[in-house]
Amino acid sequence: MLALVGSGEYLPGMDEVDRTLLGRLTEPARVVCIPAAAGTEGDAMIDSWLNRGVAHFTKLGVETHGVRVHNRATAENLDFADQIKQANFVYLSGGKPSYLYNLMHDTPVWNAILDVHHKGGVVAGCSAGAMIMGTQFMYGGTTDAFDLVPNSVIIPHFDEFPGFLSRIMRAFQSSNRTMYGIDGYTALVVDPTKPHYEVLGSGGVTVITKSDRTRYISGDTIQSKI
């Protein structure tokens, strides 16, 4: 599964969403938290995100480790990749999406994350971590992403920054991409074994196409638009 979070990673408002995701694992949870998107923000911020993630999931009662991936060299570290492969739940916290995408692209760490995904684990991304899962994103320009959610643009913080989000929506209006606007404390769950996506959390997900705009709330399912 992919869990694409609008904002609020590691905060109490995400406890129930994360408990739900953990409960869908078929084996005992082994979580790794990766602060890579904050890699330009300095050592203190990188460590803060890593420690917040470990504290959050430890509080939820599961085995949790931080893997300090924050630049290209650490993304190419084979020991870090091996640690990630031992997990069944990977969490990418927020920061800069362009930096995160370029850092991860074609590296052992990203391949390890894909390995967790392909083996049936959960890969969660918040904000920047969610944006890179679509087909494209916009952050200082339109950029290709990893296309784990086909034909999509993932827009986090959807209830928080209306001016910025309007510019994103205009940029993709003429395309055939489906835009998924995800509110804070909300996750869009993409399970490749199912023909629909699911909304979890206290906010909503707004699905925007050329011809339609529909908002879904927790418990709703969304027909995948491939």
pLDDT tens digits, 198-210: 999 999 999 988 8
Q: In 80-93, which positions are buried (b, 16+ CB within 10 angstroms) versus exposed (e)?
A: bbebbbebbbbbbb
pLDDT band, residue 38 (cuts 50/70/90):
very high
Average pLDDT (170-178) is 76
Q: What is the pLDDT of residue 146?
A: 98
Mean pLDDT of the chain: 94
Which contiguous run of DSSP H or E holds residue 90?
strand 89-92
Going by the DSSP 8-state scheme, the letter that residue 12 receives in this structure is G
CATH number for domain 2-220, candidates 1.20.1440.80, 3.20.20.80, 3.20.20.10, 3.40.50.880: 3.40.50.880
Please say if the pLDDT value at position 185 is more than 80.
yes
Q: pLDDT tens across 134-156, in order?
A: 999 988 778 899 999 999 999 99
Amino acid making up residue 206:
T
